[in-house]
Amino acid sequence: MNADDFRHLYDYHFTANRRLWDYVIVPMDNQLFAHPISYSVGSIRNQCVHVASVDDRWFSGLAGTSLPDFANPIDYPDKASVRAYWDVVEQRQRAVLTTLDDAQLETHFPGFFSDFKVWQILFHVLNHGTDHRSQIHAMLHTLGVTTKPQDYIFIAHGWDVYQE
């Protein structure tokens, strides 16, 4: 894989996240968004804050900046505040991905996880996001909210299953 391949995969990641937000989470009321669920890290809100926070921490490491603290869902009381945070994190990730080159993929990740190469951390972050999006989908289903597939193949093919 090369840097362009990772940018492509992250375009999928960002698109899947935005479709989940735009078509499923935005129409929800804030009470349902924050409704406690005894699975993983809790409510839909908590899941969203967790994913953005973890993405932000890994990409801060890639950018060579200081690691932000883990975000506390309590600091994000509603969908609008979580979405604003999510959007800032995505922009930071996009900025790092813009500068990514093939040689950097083979370097070792700085800091505590230096036994991993950059490409492995990038893959880990993608996998983590997919895992938690799947958890969010399952949680939404238990709350009676309709979801659609998040499969890579649909997005790569240009199909918007939410519009069909």
- 121: Cβ–Cβ under 8 A, 6 or more apart, which residues? 58, 61, 62, 109, 113
Confidence of residue 146 (pLDDT cuts 50, 70, 90): confident
Domain limits at 18?
Answer: 3-156
Q: What is the CATH number of the domain that holds 149?
A: 1.20.120.450
Which segments of the chain are extended strands (E)? none
Domain count within the chain: 1
- Domain assignment present for 56: yes
With respect to residue 163, please indicate whether it lies within any of the assigned structural domains: no
49 lies in some domain: yes
Quote the pTM value.
0.89
Residue 27 lies in a domain: yes
Give whole-number Cα distances, 71 to 17, 47, 57, 66, in Å.
18, 11, 10, 14
Note the pLDDT tens digit of each residue in 74-125.
Answer: 999 999 999 999 999 999 999 999 999 999 999 988 777 778 999 999 999 9
In a domain, 164, yes or no: no
